[in-house]
Amino acid sequence: MTDTFQSSQPIYLQLADRLNRQIVSGELKPGDKLPSVRETAVSSKVNPNTVQRTYRELEASGIVESRRGQGTFVTENEDILLSIREKLKQEQIQNFIQVMHDMGYQNEEIKEGLQTYLEGGARHD
């Protein structure tokens, strides 16, 4: 978590994004305790107030829960985890497609390219 943030985007959003990914990838498992605000602040070298805000946002989205006096935990609610998983996927695809469209690729070309890449990539990895 020491890699840097983009200075021109809100840090609390970048940090939320990062934590969401860790949860979706399974790096943080359902029921896992998140590091304390201070620990996260130190390890990612950002203001504790910013981390506080990130945790608040994540809590509002339901992906984490704060338990009084114990800390913040990744939710064990399957529905929420699935919906976040779906949401991140949609976001990534949307970005990708946007970039491809901007460069002038057609949907057919993109689909074909993806298919070839995924099939070929699976064999080479």
Partner 1 sequence: MIEFKNVSKRYMTKTALRDVDLKLDKGKIIGLVGLNGAGKSTTMKLIAGLINPSKGSVELDGEKVTRRIASKVSYLSELDEYYSFYTVQQTIDFFATQFPDFNKEKAEEIRAYMNLDANTKVKHLSKGNRGRLKIILTLSREVPVLLMDEPLSGLDPLVRDSIVKGLITFVDTEKQLVLLSTHQIMEVEMILDEVIAIKDGELVDHRNVEELRYDEQKGILEWMSSIYE
Q: Could you list the residues that contact partner 1 (CB under 8 A)?
A: 4-13, 38, 41-42, 45-50, 53
* Phi-psi domain of 71 (left: phi exceeds 0; alpha: psi -120 through 50; beta: other): left
Sign of CA dihedral 60, 63, 67, 72: negative
CB of 83 to partner 1, least distance (A): 25
Q: Measured from the CB atom, is 53 or 58 closer to partner 1?
A: 53
Burial of 89 (0-12, 13-18, 19+ CB in 10 A): exposed
What the block records as the tokens of 63 is: 């992906």
Distance CA 119, CA 99 (A): 22
CB of 77 to partner 1, least distance (A): 29
Q: Measured from the CB atom, is 13 or 80 closer to partner 1?
A: 13
Give the up-direction half-sphere exposure of residue 47: CA atoms within 13 A in the CB hemisphere: 6
Q: Measured from the CB atom, is 42 or 93 closer to partner 1?
A: 42
CB of 45 to partner 1, least distance (A): 6
CB of 108 to partner 1, least distance (A): 34
Q: Measured from the CB atom, is 50 or 75 closer to partner 1?
A: 50
